[in-house]
Amino acid sequence: MEFKYAGSEENQRTVLGHPSGLFVLFFTEMWERFSYYGMRALLVLFLTASLFDEGWAWERSDALMLYGWYTGLVYLTPIFGGLIADKILGYRKAVVLGALIMTLGHASMALEGFSSYFFYIGLLGLIIGNGLFKPNVSSIVGQLYKSQGKEKDAGYTIFYMGINAGAFLGILLCGYIGEKVGWHYGFGLAGIFMFLGMLQFYFAQKIFGNIGLSPVEAEELKEEAIANNKFEEAVQEKEESALVVRDRIIVISIFALFTIFFWWAFEQAGGSMTIFASDYTDRGLEGNAATTFKTINAIITVVPMIVITWVLILLFKQTFKKFALSNFWLGLSFVIIWAIVLWMLQKEFAADATEVPASWFSVLNSLFIILFAPLFSKIWESKFNPSGPIKFAIGLTLLGLGFAVLSYGAATIPEGAKTASVSLMFLVFAYLFHTLGELCVSPVGLSYVSKLAPVKLVGLMFGIWFVANFIANLLGGFTGSYIDLISEKYGLSTFFLIFTIIPIGAAFILVLLNPMMKKKMHGVK
């Protein structure tokens, strides 16, 4: 009997029309992103908080530089993590080991009150663990499907929703607890769910059958796969000349270059934009405004939780008999998360007034992705679907417009001011434009790399893509570190104007390059 999907017999049981194993990975990735984005939302706030508020009272420039190095390095280590998995561990062991190292990293950060060394050791653990986890869990997703068509694309879309669900909950809950209760509690909470996600994956991994085994464990399958790949490569080499291959690599390199401009500005979300939210935004709400915010916050928190819990129940129905222990840990994680959510909402509604946590604004990115991703998917499938370079140009322009909103909002802030109280709606609209821009760049870029890369160079091309993200995050932190220097001399409005002009300028250049890039794609659309 031939299975429709790769993996074990249990993996043929479907949830929402996809193999059950996809949702094991969905929840594993969800909790990993919960831990990553939850910690990221707190990092700069913790470093710049006063000693009275149990922070480290760092200068903003120093905090943003550390933020840039951290978010940059987590995009560099996956190159080595993928190589280690390919050659030694296999994907499954790499995912488990990476998750364990990240759990220990979060635990170490939770102990920062005892010694600053625990904090730095924790960051190092997160960087190393992420390198083993990030590339390899995505690789398992791809191997679940035997076909390369729309079904696999839909599977990755569902997986992407898990990423954003985790980011949404992590920022919301870790951010709230870190700011309202204590920094180390926020760091520790991120680690708890990373650990539960690891246990859920570990005790369900047999559902993947032979997928993700180490080279030693799957030597015969590896040889067969290599033979097949060589055949495919021979066919491609026969059909495509060296000139075509060179041209497509040039196009990938151009996309990688312009993605640096995008993420350089976009990653201000956890840096200078978080500082703007913390120190320059009026977050205190009273009366009807407070009630309205509490109601909206409750809706956008509870509704996604209900949807994700429903998916959890569907997975339980298909896998509980065979993988009861995995389901137990996953169920326990949801019991805990529901308890925290209800506690947070009850605590907020009990107060007459409220202060919006500075980290809350980062939630908007994941929320807007969930709302608008289906719309953009429909547009890309319609007759209005533009070319890749034009999509990138649109994304860069939308990103620039988001910073134009912030620049306008900061126009009334005096030069050199350390605090202000501008409307929080400027941040809301900025995140809206940034998210719309992300939907034009992030999934489109990955898609074009996979389409344009020669078979022999797929890994290298994705490696270049990760390096571009590393450079972007590092430069983003470096540029953000000049927020005080530029604000004192030219004003905060001018600082944000930099992130308006450069992305829009890059978009204009891409429009000019569009005819040449389309020609060098040689028919790839």
Same fold, 11-208+287-355 and 240-283+360-525: yes
- The domain ranges of the chain are 11-208+287-355, 211-239, 240-283+360-525
CA 104, CA 126: separation in Å to the nearest integer? 8
pLDDT in tens, 478-515: 999 999 999 999 999 999 999 999 999 999 999 999 99
Tens-digit pLDDT profile for residues 106-143: 999 989 888 889 999 999 999 999 989 887 887 787 77
Contact 305, 345 (CB under 8 A): no
Task: Give phi and psi for 492, each to the nearest 5.
Answer: -65, -30
C-alpha torsion 177→178→182→184, nearest 10? 120
The pLDDT, as a whole number, for residue 236 is 45
> Was domain 11-208+287-355 assigned CATH 1.20.1250.20?
yes
Note the pLDDT of residue 239: 47
**Tokens 């933020």 sit at which residue?**
67
Share of the chain above pLDDT 90, in %: 43
Are 178 and 186 in contact by the 8 Å Cβ rule? The answer is yes
pLDDT for 126 equals: 94
In order, the DSSP letters of 378-443 are: HHHHSTT---HHHHHHHHHHHHHHHHHHHHHHTTTSPTT-S---B-THHHHHHHHHHHHHHHHHHH
Residue pLDDT, tens place only, 260-305: 999 999 989 888 999 999 999 999 888 888 888 899 889 988 988 9
pLDDT of residue 100: 95
**Angle 437-421-396 from CA coordinates, rounded to 5°:** 15
Q: Of the ranges 2-11, 169-178, 196-205, 232-241, which one carries the lowest mean pLDDT score?
A: 232-241
CATH code of domain 240-283+360-525: 1.20.1250.20
| Residues 486/494, Cβ–Cβ less than 8 Å | yes
